[in-house]
Chain A
Amino acid sequence: MESSAEELEVGATGLTVEQAIANLRSPDLSLRYYAAWWLGKFRVREPAAVDALIAALEDEADRTELGGYPLRRNAARALGKLSDRRAVPGLICCLDCDDFYVREAAAQSLAMLGDSSAISALVKLLDGGVDAAVDVPGRPHLTQPYDSVLEALGALQAKSAIPLIQPFTEHPSPKIQYAALRAMYQLTQEDSYGQRLLAGLNSDDLKLRRVVLSDLGAIGYVGAAAAIASCRAENSFKLLSLKGLLESQLQTQPTQLSDSAIHLMSLMDSLL
């Protein structure tokens, strides 16, 4: 069954852009939280929306019992989807936030915005190396959002960070290993990293197989095509992964369809 692969279509739920922007300053905190999510979901790129979301990165009103910042998290996530690099300095500040989930959202959004000025701040989160990358007692996460940071450094082509990233390919957590392998492949194009990621498609854990599918798609590792198509996972995940491979093939030959692009499409057709 493909349940978790499918996102049910969400309607626009009656909000207008003006309302959503105004709601970011509403006295009702739940309206602020929802508005930040909404602006990202519907990719509202208007400067006024971006400004309001950047302001929300410093919100102090909305706190969880454990001291988290729900509105900052949603604002950081939304800003990654709006392709406006004015958000970069605010997101870099968020990498220092006490709230793990704000740091995680900021790292992911900085990766999406593709601005290399974030590299040094991201590298700082790897301080202490693999030895510091341990569970926080009583919390469901490590000391830093390592997987997101590693992926961001790969996406931002942070070649100077290679020596810091490489040790994470041996981190005990498969999820972090995969993130490091993905980044190392993007930074070096060395086949051995792609091969190690590919082996992750045989993981016993469906969630990890989905992560690997997404990683292989992100790096466009064409050697993985057949293994992706036959992996034990939902077709939606496999299609998205093969789409990543196809897109990277199309970039090398934008007008003429190569044999490998045609092969990828025949695999995709078979998964419909």
Chain B
Amino acid sequence: MTTSTQNLIQAVDRADSPESLVAAVRSLAAAKDEAGIATLIAVLGYNNPVAAVAAVEGLTQLGAKAVQPLIDKLDGYNYGARAYSIRAIAAIADPLALEVLATAAATDFAPSVRRAAAKGLGNLHWQNIATPADRAAAQHQALETLLSVSQDSDWSIRYAAVVGLHGLLQLSDLQAKIQPHLIQIIESDPDSAVRARAQLALGVSADRYGRV
């Protein structure tokens, strides 16, 4: 670790006001030094939304290197912190996080965590999975999770699942499975916002499918 990164970490640890914390986190994030990862992850639990968003951005820019530490330090007791971690993991989009995202989308009790995970599941960098068989299995798992999550009772979670499915729709192998499901959402979801998002995913006008 360079001295300058050490200083930036200390500035975060010593920050004694919300403003100085935000400034220190922004500087540490801008340094893009792997050595700052643990400190940036810790900031997600400080209950300072502005600092947390800056830390998520910093972690996202660090990319794949930040994924395993984010997974290892996922905070089981603070769902606010967990939602920020999942947002960072989703934005980095490393398929290594598939299992964590699938579990969070399907079983977390906090809607904010589930929404972030559902969106992330549709958007992973599948090309980073080396073998075609593994890739297909991973995509299948993401799809099955999202199909199940898209029937949740909370509209915002169904909305996020549709956003995830929209992402998977870019994979030609999955289109035939996703399209009928989205049509069903357009025809029967109780919330017009969710129906409209499915419509946007399919890129069609609703009257093609009758009642909306």
Seen from chain A, the residues whose Cβ lies within 8 Å of a Cβ on chain B are 1-3, 5-6, 8-9, 232, 234-236, 239-240, 243, 246-247, 250-251, 254-257, 261-262, 265, 268-269, 272
Taking a contact as CB atoms closer than 8 A, the residue among A232, A236, A243, A268 that contacts B49 in the complex is A232
Contact present for A2 and B112 (CB under 8 Å): yes
Chain A residue contacts of B116, Cβ below 8 A: 272
With an 8 A cutoff between CB atoms, is B126 at the interface? no
Select the residue from B112, B205, B207 with max chain A CB neighbours within 10 A: B112
Contact present for A1 and B47 (CB under 8 Å): yes
Stretch at the interface among B25-33, B57-65, B154-162, B176-184: B154-162
Question: Given that A5-B112, A272-B119 are known contacts, is A254 also in contact with B206, CB under 8 Å in the complex?
Answer: yes
Contact present for B119 and A1 (CB under 8 Å): no
Give 15 A-B contacts (CB < 8 Å), ordered by A residue. Answer: A1-B49, A1-B78, A2-B80, A6-B79, A232-B49, A232-B50, A235-B115, A243-B191, A246-B193, A247-B192, A250-B192, A251-B192, A261-B196, A268-B159, A268-B193
Contact present for B206 and A6 (CB under 8 Å): no
Q: How many residue pairs at the A-B interface have CB separations less than 8 Å?
A: 74
Chain B residue contacts of A240, Cβ below 8 A: 156
Chain A residue contacts of B199, Cβ below 8 A: 257
Chain B residue contacts of A234, Cβ below 8 A: 49, 112
| Closest residue on chain B to residue A270 by CB atoms | B119
Question: Given that A9-B109, A246-B196 are known contacts, is A257 also in contact with B80, CB under 8 Å in the complex?
Answer: no
Contact present for B118 and A272 (CB under 8 Å): yes
A250-B193 Cα distance, complex, nearest whole Å: 8
Which residues, 184 to 206 on B, are CB-close (under 8 Å) to A?
Answer: 191-193, 196-197, 199-200, 205-206
Contact present for A236 and B109 (CB under 8 Å): no
Question: Given that A2-B80, A6-B79, A8-B109 are known contacts, is A236 also in contact with B156, CB under 8 Å in the complex?
Answer: yes
Closest 6 CB pairs of A and B: A1-B80, A272-B119, A255-B207, A272-B115, A255-B206, A243-B193
